[in-house]
């Protein structure tokens, strides 16, 4: 759910997941650099703590990657369903056009009364 109470669309959720993935990748890069510095400075406890954080962010990275794959599948299905609805609407419009306006109501011809009187017959 979005903050304003409205449900986010699949494309909005996908964009948010991609943003989170990029942030996680950036954080992993920062943590790896900090861990290397801690190792170089013989701060083993700090390096171990950073290694734990790295593993946590790598798991989060996998979660974001899986979520993106899932949302891309949902988006593809949503687009496929939209195409199906559009094709069905097009078929309905074509059928309506081919069917025409329907049968015209029969009204008596004004000449029929003349024929009844023998006009035009010999």
Question: How far apart are alpha carbons 24 and 11 in whole angstroms?
Answer: 20
Q: Confirm whether 34 is domain-assigned.
A: yes
pLDDT, tens only, 88-115: 999 999 988 888 776 666 666 666 555 5
Q: Confirm whether 3 is domain-assigned.
A: no
Q: Confirm whether 39 is domain-assigned.
A: yes
Mean pLDDT of the chain: 86
Q: How many domains does the chain have?
A: 1
pLDDT, tens only, 74-87: 999 999 999 999 99
Q: Confirm whether 122 is domain-assigned.
A: no
Q: Confirm whether 2 is domain-assigned.
A: no
Q: Confirm whether 62 is domain-assigned.
A: yes
Q: Confirm whether 18 is domain-assigned.
A: yes
CA 22 to chain centre: 21
Which residues form the domain of 93? 10-100
Q: Confirm whether 60 is domain-assigned.
A: yes
Say if residue 6's pLDDT is above 90: no
């Amino acid at each position: 759910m979005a903050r304003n109470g409205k449900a986010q669309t699949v494309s909005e959720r996908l964009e948010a997941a991609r943003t989170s993935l990029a942030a996680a990748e950036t954080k992993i890069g920062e943590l790896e650099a900090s861990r290397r510095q801690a190792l170089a400075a013989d701060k083993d406890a700090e390096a171990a703590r950073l290694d734990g954080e790295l593993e946590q962010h790598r798991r989060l990275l996998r979660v974001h990657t899986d979520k993106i794959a899932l949302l891309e599948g949902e988006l593809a299905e949503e687009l496929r369903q939209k195409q199906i609805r559009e094709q069905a609407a097009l078929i309905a419009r074509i059928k309506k056009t081919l069917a025409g306006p329907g049968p015209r109501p029969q009204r008596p011809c004004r000449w029929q009364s003349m024929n009844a009187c023998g006009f035009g017959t010999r």
